[in-house]
Amino acid sequence: MAKRILFALLLFPSFIFAQINTDRVMTIARNALYFEDYVLSIQYFNQVINAKPYLYEPYFYRGLAKINLDDFQGSEDDCDKALERNPFVVGVYQIRGLARIRQNKYEGAIEDYKMALKYAPENITLWNNLTLCHLQKKDYEAAQEDLENLLRIAPRYTRAYLMRGEVHMRQQDTISALKDFNVAIELDKYDPDAWSARAMVKLQQTEYADAESDLNQAIRLSVRNAGNYINRALARFHQNNLRGAMSDYDLALDIDPNNFIGHYNRGLLRAQVGDDNRAIEDFDFVLDIEPDNMMATFNRGMLKAQIGDYRGAIQDYTTVIDVHPNFLAGYYHRGEARKKIGDRKGADEDDQKLLKAQLDKQFGSTNSQPNANNSSDKDVADNGESTRKKSDKNMNNYRKIVVADDSEQVRQYKSDYRGRVQDRNVNIKLEPMFAINYYEKENAVRNGVNYHIFIDELNQSKVYPKRIQITNREAPLTEEQVRFHFALIDSHTSAIITDDKNASKRFARALDFYLVQDFASSMEDLTKAILLNDNFFPAYFMRALVRGKQLEYQRAEETSTKSNKAGGELTTLDYDGVIADLNKVITLAPDFVYAYYNRANLLSMLKDYRAALIDYDKAIELDPNFADAYFNRGLTNIFLGNNRKGISDLSKAGELGIVSAYNIIKRFTEVQE
C-alpha cells in the first residue's frame, strides 16, 4: 500500500536540513516506508521528530506508516500535527481522510478531500474518494455532482461510470444504471466489477440467463470473489439449475468459509435433493454464526426428523415455538415428531393448539399468524416469490432462498479508498528479486527451501547470528528485531575493528545495515568485503540487490515529482553497475540460479525482454521447479505478445504454488463477447 500511496501523492519541496544526520535518517526512513518496513520506518521518523519537531514531513510519513499498520487514530493524530506545521500539503489531507474513513468519520473525510481539491482540483484519486464518502453518507445528489466533475477531468475513467451506476441503483433507476455499466464494460472489458455490476441489474430485471452470462465473465477475471459465485448461484436457482447453484455455493464457501448466505442456501438446496446430513451441517454452521436464527433452527429440525433424530428435531421445534408462539407449522411438525417417539400427551397438546388456531381463524380471532395452517408445505406465505431478504424474519418464509439486503447488495468500495485508483485492477508485475536475508514471510502454499551449498557453508561458519537464507519473500522487521539488528551493528563494528581484513564480518554487518534500510552503509560494507575477497560472490549478489533497490526508489521518486533526468526514466546506463555485479556472481558461481533470475528481472524491467528470456531459460534449466522463474518468464512472453507461451508458463507457475498466476491467465484469455 505504501508504494501506491507514497508516490501517488504530490511530493513536497525538499527541506535543506541543518544537520546532515537528520537528512540521512529521513532518507533511510522513507526507504523503509517505501519497501513496506513500517515498524522500522516509524523508529526512524521518531528520531527525526525528536531532533526537529518543527518539520511536517516526519509526522506525515509516520502517519502513512501507521495507517498501513491499521493504527488509524494514530495516523490521524500525526496528520493533524503535520497540518499544524504546513496546511498546504495535499497528501496530508488525503491520508487523514483515509484514516478518518477507516474510523467511519465520513464528515471529516469529506472536509479533508474538499480541502485537498482546492489545491489539486484535477486529482482523480481525491474525487474518487470524495464520491465514495458521499455514497456512504447516502448523499446521492452530492455523489452525482462529484462524478460529473470527475468525468469532466477523466471521461474514460471506468470507476466513475461504475460509481454513477451504483448511485442510480440506490435510487432504483435500473435503466440509467444499466447504461453506465454498459459504458464501463465498453471502456474496460477486463474489469470484473463492471461485469458483476451489470449482472446485479440483470438479476433485478429477472433476466437470469443474461445475469449468469455476465457473472461467468466476472468470475473468469476474478476467480477469488465469493460474491460472484453467490450471485451466479441465485441466477442458476431461478433457472432451476439446482446442481449448478450448489456447485457455486461450494466454490463461494471455499473462498469465504464463513459466508452466511452460502451455507444457508446450500443447506436448503441440499435438503431439496435429499442430502439431509450435509444440509444439517450447513445449518449447524449458520447457527454457530447466528445462534438466534430461528429459520435455520426450524429447517434443521425438519432435517433431523427426516433422518430419524426426532428428539433433536423436537428440541429445535421447541426453540422456535418459544420465540414465535403463534408459528403453527412449528406445532404441526413438533406434534408429528412427538408421535414418532410415543409422546401422545405432547402430540395432543400440539394438535389442540392447531385446532384452536383453526377455530380462531374461522371466528375472526387474530391471535394466530395469517396464512398459517396445519400443513407443513402449505404454510409458506410466498407472495409469488421464491426468495427473501436476509433481514426478513417472517417464519412463514423459512424455505425461501436468502438474498442480501439492499444495503448489502450494493458493492462496497473499501479497497478503492487507497492510493492510485488506476492501479486497483490486478497488478501484473514480476515476482520480486531474491535476497540473502535472515527473515522470510510464511506462505501456506509454497514452503520449499532455496538452497546453495556456499550459503550452507556460510551458515556453518558461525559468523552470522541467525541462519541466513535465500528468499524473495522478505519479511519486515518487528520492533524487537529492529533493536536486535541495531545492537548487532554495534557488535559487528567492534569485531571489525579487531579484525578489519575479514570479508565475512563485513558482509554480516552489511546484512544488518540492509535490514534496517541503511542502504548507503550496506553498500560501503559490501564494497569493502569485495575488496578484501574478490571471490566472495554473495557480496556481489547483495550489492547488486541493494543498488537496484536504491535505483527503484530513485525512479519512483523522480516519476512522482516529474523531474526525471532529461524528462525520462532511468536508463540501462544507470543499472550498469548492478548488471556488472550479477555478471560477476555468475562467473564465480555459475550454478547460483538466483543470479540468473535477478538479472532476468532487471533486463525485463529495462524492457530487454529477449535477453531476459535467455536468463529465465537458464534459471529453469538449473532448477526445473523454479516457480518464480516460470511466472516471470510467462509475463515476459506476454509482454512480447507471445500469449500462448506466456500462459503455458503461468500455468506451470500456478501448479508450483503461485496462485496469482491463475488470475493473470484469465485476464489474458480473451473475454468472450
- Per DSSP, the three-state class of 313 is helix
- The C-alpha torsion from 554 through 559 and 561 to 562, rounded to 10°, is 130
pLDDT value of residue 525: 96
Average pLDDT in the 461-470 region? Answer: 88
Beta strand segments in 134-228, E: none
Per-position DSSP letters for 556-570, written without gaps between them? HHHHHHT--GGGS--
| Chain centre distance of CA 500 | 47
Grid cell for residue 480:
524487537
How does the average pLDDT of the chain come out, rounded? 86
pLDDT band at 375; cut points 50, 70, 90: very low
User: Top-level CATH class of 444-476+535-668?
Assistant: mainly alpha
pLDDT band at 379; cut points 50, 70, 90: very low
pLDDT band at 53; cut points 50, 70, 90: very high
Grid cell for residue 189:
472489458
Which residues lie closer than 8 Å to 56 by C-beta, 6 or more apart?
A: 12, 81, 82, 83, 84, 85, 86, 89, 92
pLDDT band at 520; cut points 50, 70, 90: very high
Please give the C-alpha separations between residue 469 and each of 329, 332, 389, 535, 547, in angstroms, as whole numbers. 65, 68, 53, 20, 20
Contact 277, 304 (CB under 8 A): no
| Chain centre distance of CA 129 | 18
> What is the bridge-based pairing of β-strands 435-437 and 469-471?
antiparallel
Q: What is the pLDDT of residues 264-320, one digit of tens each?
A: 999 999 999 899 999 999 999 999 989 999 999 999 999 999 999 999 999 999 999
Q: Where are the domains of the chain?
A: 444-476+535-668
Q: What is the pLDDT of residues 214-272, one digit of tens each?
A: 999 999 888 888 999 999 999 999 999 999 999 999 999 999 999 999 999 999 999 99
pLDDT value of residue 447: 59
Q: Is the pLDDT of residue 559 over 70?
A: no
Q: What is the pLDDT of residues 174-209, one digit of tens each?
A: 999 999 999 999 999 989 999 999 999 999 999 999
Q: Is the pLDDT of residue 321 over 80?
A: yes
pLDDT band at 380; cut points 50, 70, 90: very low
Q: Is the pLDDT of residue 352 over 70?
A: yes
pLDDT value of residue 422: 29
From CA 207, how far away is CA 189, in angstroms rounded?
Answer: 21
User: Worst-scoring range by mean pLDDT, 175-184, 498-507, 659-668?
Assistant: 659-668
pTM of the model: 0.73
pLDDT band at 374; cut points 50, 70, 90: very low
From CA 322, how far away is CA 294, in angstroms rounded?
Answer: 10
Residue percentage of the chain with pLDDT more than 90: 66
Residue percentage of the chain with pLDDT more than 70: 87
Please give the C-alpha separations between residue 362 and each of 59, 365, 367, 368, in angstroms, as whole numbers. 75, 8, 12, 11
